[in-house]
Amino acid sequence: MALRLPRKLVVKVRILAVAFAAVAMVGMSAAPAEAQQQQRRLQFIRDAEIEHIIRTYAEPIFEVSGINGDSVEIALVKDASLNAFVAGGMNLFIHTGLLLESESPGELIGVIAHEIGHIAGGHLIRSQEAMEGASAQAILSALLGLGAALATGEAGAGAAILGGGTEMARRSYLAYSRAQESTADQAALGYMDQAGISARGLLNFLEKLGNQDLRPTDRQDAFVRTHPLTLDRIESVRYHVEHSRVSDKPLPASYDDMHARMRAKLLGFVQPQIALHRFRESDTALPARYGRAIALYQRGDIRQALPMIDQLIKEEPNNPFFHELKGQVLLENSRVAEAIPPYRRSVELLPDSALLRSSLAHALIESNDDRVLDEALRNLKVAAEEEPRTPFTWRLIATVYGRQNQQGMLSYALAEEAMARGDRGVARFHAEKAEHELPTGSPGWIRAQDIRTATDRPPKR
């Protein structure tokens, strides 16, 4: 990913890329250009603010659809193409290209509602035959290695090569039928009506893609390739918009502001040079200053970036994400002691965020002050409870236990980390060690026994 990583190990950064290589090991021949495309890496990013915004947009749709939003994993795919998809159960993947190109929150909400329609319609189960080939199954495992993809925080361990799987196989698996697309459209329209949200955004998005069926496949947007688009679908959505009682109902004004900040931040992180060109110094709008500050920091100019971030904090002292950004800039530039207060403040303002808590814990650990290890551990335990499949959270927990010379709990934490990564052999090794080292019947011993027992069973497919 285009994010500038620090010289030393930094985890849980503001936006963190985790790459999964889809290595072409399928029994087919391909032209060199096609083979290169097949081997394209899949990259995932984490960001507390963007995930918060997407969940804010999605929550009304989750509520009316009867789907528990807490059960849906949201993964941000670092990819410039316009696309979103669901895979492997309750997992919603959104490309950063879609976030950057969506001109309004209504467009993004419409796409989210459509994808929730696929989940509610059981289309993933009905598409199971698309996984019968080994290559498709391999790429699905790459997509759904969410224990690592969603939460690995170690920059140095970002790239993991997975045997099998290609971009072509991925597209094949993710492609829905035209009938499923129409069904998801109708579900989305019903959900938005029930939630009191206009479907104009969905219509605008589909109209943008409306002529792409006439283009060669390699020139179509990813959304069109995986979600067959027809004029009948567009006309059906247009008819709904013309007759719906909520079509002219505006979204909350705060949504537009959140959307502008999200796009500015993403651009600042993934394309800092373009962000500096777009967000001129003379542009005093807050999203522009936000994006420019991030772009400057990404370009290594913290001398200019930090005062801009401080000004943002002065204007919005209760914004947890501004404090988090300051903590990240300071931590990545080896100013660890200075990074801790803004990270603490971010957690005070948004205590439910696992990402913010693990960022604070990492700064505390990096301070090399054993007096703050208990504080780090408290935050990490909350983070692990919120996101139990987060390998690097467990790695940080293991680091704390190691420095406290708690060998049994160290083994237990390493077992949890290995399970989150999907490495069942290593998980069993550390779980067995933990069982021997911890008091029988203690919470860690019980959980270690559960992990060992789980490794005896074949993995779910």
Residue 236 placed within a domain: yes
Task: Provide the pLDDT for residue 19.
Answer: 35
**Mean pLDDT of all residues in 348-376:** 96
Q: Is there a domain that residue 259 lies in?
A: yes
| Residues 190 and 295 grouped into a single domain | no
Residues 223, 91 share a domain: yes
- For residue 78, the domain's CATH number is 3.30.2010.10
The 10 Å CB-count burial string (b at 16+, else e) for 24-43 is bebeeeeeeebeeebbebbb
Indicate which CATH number applies to the domain containing 303: 1.25.40.10
Range of weakest confidence among 178-187, 320-329, 353-362, 371-380: 178-187
Does residue 295 carry a pLDDT above 70?
Answer: yes
Sheet with strand 84-86: strands edge to edge:
84-86, 91-95, 73-77, 42-46, 16-22, 160-162
84, 186: one domain: yes
CA torsion through residues 266, 271, 272, 273, sign: negative
- Say yes or no: 333 and 440 in one domain: yes
Q: Looking at the structure, tell me whether residues 270 and 230 fall in a common domain.
A: no
- Render pLDDT for 297-323 as a digit per residue (tens, 0 to 9): 999 999 999 999 999 999 999 999 999
- pLDDT of the residue at 90: 80
Encode pLDDT of 129-183 as tens digits. Answer: 443 333 333 344 444 444 444 444 433 222 232 333 344 444 444 455 677 788 8
Question: Is residue 268 located within the same domain as residue 216?
Answer: no
Q: Are residues 270 and 194 in the same domain?
A: no
6: in domain: no
In this predicted structure, which of 41-55, 60-74, 326-340, 357-371 has the lowest mean pLDDT?
A: 41-55
pLDDT reading at 12 higher than 90:
no
Residue 59 counted as domain residue: yes
**How big is the chain, counted in residues?**
461
What residues make up the domain containing 275? 253-456
For residue 390, what pLDDT is reported? Answer: 85
pLDDT band at 226 (very low <50, low <70, confident <90, very high): low
**Half-sphere exposure (Cβ direction) of 300: Cα atoms closer than 13 Å:** 4
pLDDT higher than threshold 80 for residue 329: yes
For residues 236 and 265, membership in a common domain is answered with: no
Instruction: Establish if 271 belongs to a structural domain.
Output: yes
Are 301 and 177 part of one and the same domain? no
The arithmetic mean of pLDDT across residues 253-258, rounded, is 95
Percentage of residues of the chain with pLDDT beyond 70: 73
Q: What is the pLDDT of residue 367?
A: 97
Quickly state the pLDDT bin for 222 (edges 50, 70, 90). low
Structural contact between residues 69 and 51, judged by C-beta atoms closer than 8 angstroms: no
What is the per-residue pLDDT across 38-90, written as a single tens digit (0 to 9) for each?
334 567 888 999 999 999 999 999 999 999 998 888 888 888 888 888 876 78
With CA atoms as reference, report the closest residue to 114 among 93, 85, 87. Answer: 85
Domain end among 216, 243, 270? 243
Per-residue confidence (pLDDT) for residue 220, from 0 to 100: 54
454's tokens: 């789980």
Do 319 and 400 fall within a single domain? yes
Q: Does residue 9 fall inside a structural domain?
A: no
81 and 213 in a common domain: yes
| Secondary structure (3-state) at 205 | helix
Domain count of the chain?
2
Residue 121 pLDDT: 73
Domain contains 357: yes
Residue 160's pLDDT is 31
Q: Which residue has the higher pLDDT, 211 or 379?
A: 379
| Pair 172, 226: CB distance under 8 Å | no
Same domain, 36 and 142: yes
Average pLDDT over residues 8-12: 34
CA distance 147 to 155: 15
